[in-house]
């Protein structure tokens, strides 16, 4: 049996958009064929707004750091619709 919160998450989808970037520092770039690893740590939430610190690295070498904000709106859909 699935929990009520699981069913609610399935029925309620969230569309988020990049709202802000702060303190972006770029230290390098990726070349074709290199793997870019992006990591994010959520630092705060308020309703559907999410703030995070992000970094990108290539072969263990950090090439970018930033803080970002995502915001969005809830989109209700029929449970199990996949939309």
Please say if the pLDDT value at position 43 is more than 50: yes
pLDDT digits (tens, 9 = 90+) for 6-20: 555 555 677 889 999
Residue 55 and residue 41 in contact, taking contact as beta carbons nearer than 8 Å: no
Q: What is the pTM for the complete model shown?
A: 0.68
Whole-number Å distance between alpha carbons of 72 and 49: 7
* Domain residue extents for the chain: 16-72
Q: Across residues 38-53, what is the average pLDDT?
A: 92
Query: Distance (Å, rounded) from C-alpha 66 to C-alpha 16?
Result: 18
Q: Could you give the CA distance from residue 49 to residue 69 in angstroms, rounded to a whole number?
A: 7
Domain 16-72 belongs to what architecture? Roll (3.10)
Q: Are 14 and 72 in contact (CB under 8 A)?
A: yes
Sign of CA dihedral 58, 61, 63, 69: positive
**What is the band of 2 on the pLDDT scale with cuts at 50, 70, 90?**
low
């Amino acid at each position: 049996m699935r929990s009520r919160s699981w069913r609610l998450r399935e029925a309620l989808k969230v569309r988020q958009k990049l709202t802000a970037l702060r303190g972006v520092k770029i230290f390098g770039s990726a070349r074709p064929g290199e793997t870019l690893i992006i990591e994010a740590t959520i630092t705060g939430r308020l309703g559907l707004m999410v703030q995070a610190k992000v970094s990108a690295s290539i072969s263990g070498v950090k090439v970018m750091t930033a803080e970002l904000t995502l915001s969005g709106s809830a989109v209700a859909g029929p449970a199990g619709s996949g939309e």
